Structure 1
Amino acid sequence: MRTAAFLGLVLSLTICAPATAMPNNLSKPEYIAPQETIPSPQDIAYPGTMALEVDARDHDQGIFRVTQTIPVTKAGRLTLLYPEWLPGNHAPRGEIEKLVGLEFTADGQTLPWVRDDVDVFAFHLNIPEGVAQITAKFQFVSATVESQGRIVMAPSMLNLRWHQVSLYPAGHYVRQIPVVATAVYPDGWQAASALRPKSQVGGKIVYEKTDYDTLVDSPVFAGQYFQTYPLTNRVHLNIVADDAKFLQPTKTQIAPHVALVREAEALFGSHPYDRYDFLLALTDEMGGIGLEHHRSSENGVDREYFTGWDDGPGRRNLLPHEMTHAWNGKYRRPAGMWTPDFRQPMRDSLLWVYEGQTQFWGYVLGARSGLYSKQDTLDAFAAIAADMDLRVGRTWRPLIDTTHDPIIAARRPKPWTSWQRAEDYYNEGLLIWLEADQIIRRESGGRKSLGDFARSFFGGRNGDWGVRTYEERDVIDALNAVQPYDWATFVAERVHGTSAEAPKNGIVLGGYRLVFVDTPSAYILANDKRRKQMDLSYSIGVVMGGKGMIKSIVWDSPAFRAGLKSGLTVSAVNGKAYSDEALKQAIEQNRGQDGKIEIFAKNGEAYHNFMVDHSGGLRYPALEKITGEGADQEGGIDRLLQPKTR
């Protein structure tokens, strides 16, 4: 019988023993790096103009049929690329798997092609002598169910995104490649885009000649039920809907959209576009979207956007956010996020400015324009601050690292979001910029604000829809030019450092404090309705989906410590059949008690009791005005949300 001491010695020797070396007589290949086969982009004009025709009439099966003519000037190898790294997506999101039926011809002869074995978004052809142009034909088979990707073709509308239905020649900046695009839409449908038609016969529209960069930045919304509203002489609101009954905005509802444009242009002191088109889809059938472009934006909201106007703010902060990107993200762009073509990787480390400050101004402009009430905005700030506090992953993962999340996670669901973190640069970025605004107000004695930074940093010449790039040092220098302060340390601590809690100091400096109440705000109720969930994150740490399914669990919350996880189906609470109301009632009945909440849940074929230790009752975030001696009756946040053009 072996003694414990002997076993311990054996274990110690086993752990400390060096790894066994690979025997010398095994075959060992040498690595040979693949040869670069794709020409690097050059800032030189492409010889000739591409012609792109897209037949978008098959909205029943979701198929776009493409014919593209590409001029060539010499024989030999030609490489064509399918867009991979997409602006606004901050990641390689090109749906190359949906490009099918690809064939090339020249002078009636079929040209063989081969896909690059390293970059699968590249296709190589050998052009014969004497050929002046080649023709590509293929289909883009768009998603027909959500599990395949975003649905861009629905029974009564479509979203034509040019990067999905085109190729471009390698070796040139995309701004140097001329193209004339033509689209054929279903009979009776109307279309809107930042591109302007050169001619139109029935459902066939030939757009004005442009460059490939601008083409990709100018998507189309088209639909059977369509209306357009001029908001100013250069900005239009173009709306498509699943049904005509949802397309009934009143003058009172259009008015805050007019105010949005005026407030945005007043904030930045310029307009970096010659025209701007909001593309707004009221739909449950086409996939939702919120994506910025220089002279337009793609916006997908619930179809009750207008007809359910009085039910809560809904997604009315989407348009302010996307329009802000015309200045922040499109005109002023992080240097690492500007690329000469759609093959070069983007570097996302400044998304806390690109998206974070846009998130901030989106809510502010929503309040100033009247799309959001002041109270809705305060409730949103409260929910955002409380939610960011739950992201305990900040103790190991700094905010700067979350800017890589679009690439790392590709926006897929996560098992423990609060510990893993997600794209927190949006909402935590909002809190950082709120604090920066309040610091500038305090340090300047109320004479300046972040609005002064916005005008100096994002402003420019009217109608200049080019791109000006920047680095982090430029942001810090611009802040110091507005109001001297140790902005370098401010950024280092909040963006590059880890911390125990969210940066909520801007709320306090602005005259409010975060508190918890037992009744959800209209903002939280509307958010739950839109997401089809019940958010109890701030009490037991669970978000419930439909039919008793647990959608997510907050790391180290009472629910987490009880052993619950996402994906479980709750059958009963305290011995009663599960319902959302039954769960809320059980939480509230346990307020101040010593007992535990009993949750009976199913995991696969097994059932288990989970005992949740929480006696704090229902808790929902809210902002409370700071009062008392020395408190400002009208704080910095109150002044921040005031309209500037009325």
Structure 2
Amino acid sequence: MRRALALTALLLATASVSSGATAQNSTPQPLPFDNRIPVARDVAYPGTMTVTVDATNIQQAIYRVKQVIPVAQAGPMVLMMPAWLPGKHAARGEIEKLAGLKISANGTPVAWTRDTVDVWAFHLDVPAGATQLDIEFQFVGATDRDQGRVSIAPNMLNLQFEQVSLYPAGYFTRRIPVSATVTYPTGWTAVSGLPATKQGDAYVYQTTDYETLIDSPVFAGKHYREFKLSDRVDLNVFADEPEELEAKPEQIEAHKKLVQQSIKLFGSQHYDQYEFLLSISDEMGGIGLEHHRSSENGVGPGYFTKWSEGPGSRNLLPHEFVHSWNGKFRRGNDSWTPDFRTPMRDSLLWVYEGQTQFWGYVLQARSGIVSKQDTLDMLASIAASLDNRPARTWRPLIDTTNDPIISARRPKGWVSWQRSEDYYNEGLLVWLEVDARLRSLSRGHKSMDDFARAFFGMRDGDWGVLTYDFADVVKTLDAIQPYDWAGFLTTRLHGVADRAPLDGFTRNGYRLIYTDEPTAAFKSAEKRSGRADFSYSLGLAVGKGGAIGSVTWDSPAFNAGLDLGDTIVAVAGREYSDERLKAAIVEAKVSKTPIRLMIKSGTRYRETTIDYTGGLRYPRLEKIGTGEGGLDRLLSAR
């Protein structure tokens, strides 16, 4: 009986608390913040770390790491795996792939504890008498795409040194000396921006600082070919199959012109030697990542062999090369950090990435890697995609600079209403408008070329970091051509609007129009993405098997209730095909009747109609007037 009364009392007490009554000592108290991780200081680390990597297990995609870190005294110490990585603009270090961590000193195991807030950090106590820590662990690479990017494939790999090393917290990473050695599969060639001496299958890399090591990734592989682009720039190509290495002389000449045109533009080079690392593969994941003295570039098969079929992914190398100047040498002051733990702020990515996007398209045309007409057509697609993005009515461009941290490039269901890293392409449009205004205000005497030379063209050979802020950008523009640049940029960055900023086209001699025939570049983009793109008519894009890949917010497709994940199985009572949907769009324009579709959502089917009679619409740029306009001059080789 007493037991039953006690249970009743407990239930009444619980009900009292849940109904709003105050119970003594019931308010949770916050745990104390663990701030035992030392802040980075600009002092030299006492000793040189060594990193030894066995990268021969390509079948299982496992790197085996042995590392030695000298220590000067006993007591608490924190080891870090790099988290906040330049070029990724967020904490993207693959800590989930570090496994088997064992630390010892003088042959005795040393216990470690992971930090519960900063999970890239490991706390330990260095025992008395120890002069070094001996560390072993494995980096277990992705063997399937659902585990992340595949960086180790049967015939090539992409080793990034942040995957295979730890560093002591409390120091600027540029003050930590390190020496690395990596053993690759027999017969493979390895290339990095960091010089190395080959000893059998091992590459012994030049002793450097830890910041430079992390900025010096490696491409290695069985099928390799080097092309000299200049006395200081190489194109290093790795492929799944040897026939993908067969570049024609005129293709390599275009890459040589990319280097020449870049140097003419900027007037300096911020590297002693630069290595393009290019993989042509459908087995290793694609990539585009900038470094001071190299870049990681991953494209699908056909880069050389299908050159005539369209521009494909040939914008990648111009973009990443520009980053040697913009992003690596000149960097926003809030994105520079002293180590790989300090969070970055990305507020200046509209310069770092937006202007790099601008120069990437300019230089692809100037070099001939992509033709001028294809470049114009690609710019038309960029303009149209942003001009049909209703998210611009609520979310300003500057807020998209937070996207690398918010979403880390995970897929979004409603990109047209959410936005996604628009600082790239809308940043391009802003800089195109800056070019047009410079030309207009100076009566054709000034352009963005003058900005490039003034902002990036100093200190030839210096591959350090020179930071800037918003005021520095405005000051440089004002020195070239006086104008209210602060007000202009503030409006473009912080304002919202119904339409994209297209004055860079209209002021420079072109306007955006839509026709019922896609451009060659548009067709190339459809083929590359595997989608039929009806974004500017129905407001959707359709992938393999009728699967809907995107739906534009407030478009006819949106208003018909379609969304990402639906599949179109039939058009007007017949099995879906891209051509049948195109024909239905054309027919609806004549008949003025809705388009009938059968939709599959999971295991359910439904019939729906799209009330659209506007016909096929594809973007392109139309020349205004006659003669050479500002955009023509911008895309012309120097």
Three-state SS of the structure 1 residue aligned to 2:334 is helix
**Structure 1, residues 555-587: CA drift from partner, whole Å, max 9, x if none?**
000000111001011110111110111111111
**Structure 1, residues 473-505: CA drift from partner, whole Å, max 9, x if none?**
111111111111111121111111111110001
Deviation at residue 118 of structure 1 after TM alignment: 1.8
User: Is structure 2 residue 112 aligned with structure 1 residue 118?
Assistant: no
Aligned counterpart, 1:107:
106
User: Is structure 2 residue 91 aligned with structure 1 residue 55?
Assistant: no
Three-state SS of the structure 1 residue aligned to 2:591 is coil
**Structure 1, residues 95-124: CA drift from partner, whole Å, max 9, x if none?**
111000000111211111111122111111
User: Is structure 2 residue 638 aligned with structure 1 residue 639?
Assistant: no
d(CA) in 2 for partners of 1:100, 1:146: 19
Deviation at residue 26 of structure 1 after TM alignment: 6.2
d(CA) in 1 for partners of 2:32, 2:610: 55
Aligned counterpart, 1:227:
225
d(CA) in 2 for partners of 1:421, 1:262: 36
**Paired residues of 1:69 and 1:135 also in contact (CA < 8 A):** yes
Equivalent of 1:435, from 433, 436, 446?
433
**Paired residues of 1:350 and 1:472 also in contact (CA < 8 A):** yes
Mapping for residues 100-249 of structure 1, pairs under 5 Å: 100-197=99-196, 199-249=197-247
d(CA) in 2 for partners of 1:31, 1:626: 64
Three-state SS of the structure 2 residue aligned to 1:68 is strand
Three-state SS of the structure 1 residue aligned to 2:589 is coil
Deviation at residue 23 of structure 1 after TM alignment: 2.1
Three-state SS of the structure 2 residue aligned to 1:403 is helix
Mapping for residues 17-36 of structure 1, pairs under 5 Å: 23-25=22-24, 27-36=26-35
Mapping for residues 549-568 of structure 1, pairs under 5 Å: 549-568=547-566
Equivalent of 1:594, from 580, 592, 595?
592
**Paired residues of 1:160 and 1:220 also in contact (CA < 8 A):** yes
Aligned counterpart, 1:381:
379
**Structure 1, residues 355-401: CA drift from partner, whole Å, max 9, x if none?**
00000000000000000100001001100000011211011000000
d(CA) in 2 for partners of 1:525, 1:68: 50
Mapping for residues 448-463 of structure 1, pairs under 5 Å: 448-463=446-461
d(CA) in 2 for partners of 1:240, 1:536: 36
**Paired residues of 1:332 and 1:469 also in contact (CA < 8 A):** yes
User: Is structure 2 residue 369 aligned with structure 1 residue 371?
Assistant: yes
Aligned counterpart, 1:403:
401
Mapping for residues 85-100 of structure 1, pairs under 5 Å: 85-100=84-99
Counterpart residue type for residue 128 of structure 2: E
Aligned counterpart, 2:411:
413
**Paired residues of 1:274 and 1:462 also in contact (CA < 8 A):** no
Three-state SS of the structure 2 residue aligned to 1:539 is coil
Deviation at residue 29 of structure 1 after TM alignment: 2.6
Three-state SS of the structure 2 residue aligned to 1:591 is helix
Counterpart residue type for residue 452 of structure 1: D
RMSD between aligned residues: 1.1
d(CA) in 2 for partners of 1:549, 1:179: 50
d(CA) in 1 for partners of 2:632, 2:239: 36
Deviation at residue 624 of structure 1 after TM alignment: 0.6
Aligned counterpart, 2:11:
none
Counterpart residue type for residue 411 of structure 1: R
d(CA) in 2 for partners of 1:213, 1:133: 21
Deviation at residue 32 of structure 1 after TM alignment: 3.7
**Structure 1, residues 516-575: CA drift from partner, whole Å, max 9, x if none?**
011111111111111111111001000111111101100000000111001011110111
Deviation at residue 131 of structure 1 after TM alignment: 0.9
User: Is structure 2 residue 390 aligned with structure 1 residue 392?
Assistant: yes
**Structure 1, residues 573-624: CA drift from partner, whole Å, max 9, x if none?**
1111101111111111111432000111111121111210111111100001
d(CA) in 1 for partners of 2:23, 2:51: 58
**Paired residues of 1:592 and 1:616 also in contact (CA < 8 A):** no
Three-state SS of the structure 1 residue aligned to 2:581 is helix
Change (3 A) 1:22 1:592: farther
Alignment size in residue pairs: 621
**Structure 1, residues 50-84: CA drift from partner, whole Å, max 9, x if none?**
00011111111100110001000101111100011
Counterpart residue type for residue 281 of structure 2: T
d(CA) in 2 for partners of 1:346, 1:601: 44
**Structure 1, residues 183-206: CA drift from partner, whole Å, max 9, x if none?**
000000001110111x32221010
Change (3 A) 1:22 1:37: farther
d(CA) in 1 for partners of 2:481, 2:121: 49
Mapping for residues 276-287 of structure 1, pairs under 5 Å: 276-287=274-285
Three-state SS of the structure 1 residue aligned to 2:627 is coil
d(CA) in 2 for partners of 1:581, 1:217: 47
Aligned counterpart, 2:517:
519
Counterpart residue type for residue 120 of structure 1: V
d(CA) in 2 for partners of 1:116, 1:488: 43
Higher mean Cα deviation, 516-525 or 255-264?
516-525
d(CA) in 2 for partners of 1:371, 1:84: 35
d(CA) in 2 for partners of 1:284, 1:22: 63
**Paired residues of 1:297 and 1:322 also in contact (CA < 8 A):** yes
Aligned counterpart, 2:546:
548
Deviation at residue 22 of structure 1 after TM alignment: 5.0
d(CA) in 2 for partners of 1:35, 1:113: 15
d(CA) in 2 for partners of 1:387, 1:99: 39
d(CA) in 2 for partners of 1:599, 1:84: 47
Report the TM-score, using the length of structure 2 for normalisation: 0.96
Gaps of 5+ in 2: 1-17
Three-state SS of the structure 2 residue aligned to 1:433 is helix
d(CA) in 2 for partners of 1:163, 1:25: 50
Aligned counterpart, 1:11:
none
d(CA) in 2 for partners of 1:74, 1:445: 67
**Paired residues of 1:57 and 1:185 also in contact (CA < 8 A):** yes
Aligned counterpart, 2:7:
none
Counterpart residue type for residue 449 of structure 1: S
Mapping for residues 549-628 of structure 1, pairs under 5 Å: 549-627=547-625
Deviation at residue 179 of structure 1 after TM alignment: 0.4
Deviation at residue 31 of structure 1 after TM alignment: 2.1
Three-state SS of the structure 1 residue aligned to 2:433 is helix
Report the TM-score, using the length of structure 1 for normalisation: 0.95
Deviation at residue 128 of structure 1 after TM alignment: 1.2
Three-state SS of the structure 1 residue aligned to 2:30 is coil
Equivalent of 2:508, from 507, 510, 516?
510
**Paired residues of 1:281 and 1:303 also in contact (CA < 8 A):** no
d(CA) in 1 for partners of 2:563, 2:241: 39
**Paired residues of 1:188 and 1:224 also in contact (CA < 8 A):** yes
**Paired residues of 1:537 and 1:553 also in contact (CA < 8 A):** yes
Q: Which runs of 4+ in 1 moved over 4 A?
A: 19-22
**Paired residues of 1:334 and 1:471 also in contact (CA < 8 A):** yes
Counterpart residue type for residue 508 of structure 1: T
Deviation at residue 410 of structure 1 after TM alignment: 1.2
Deviation at residue 30 of structure 1 after TM alignment: 2.4
**Paired residues of 1:516 and 1:621 also in contact (CA < 8 A):** yes
Gaps of 5+ in 1: 1-18
Counterpart residue type for residue 637 of structure 2: P
Three-state SS of the structure 2 residue aligned to 1:404 is helix
d(CA) in 2 for partners of 1:412, 1:518: 33
Three-state SS of the structure 2 residue aligned to 1:337 is coil
d(CA) in 1 for partners of 2:364, 2:493: 26
d(CA) in 2 for partners of 1:167, 1:530: 38
Higher mean Cα deviation, 285-294 or 123-132?
123-132
Counterpart residue type for residue 627 of structure 2: Q
d(CA) in 1 for partners of 2:255, 2:262: 11
Higher mean Cα deviation, 587-596 or 46-55?
587-596
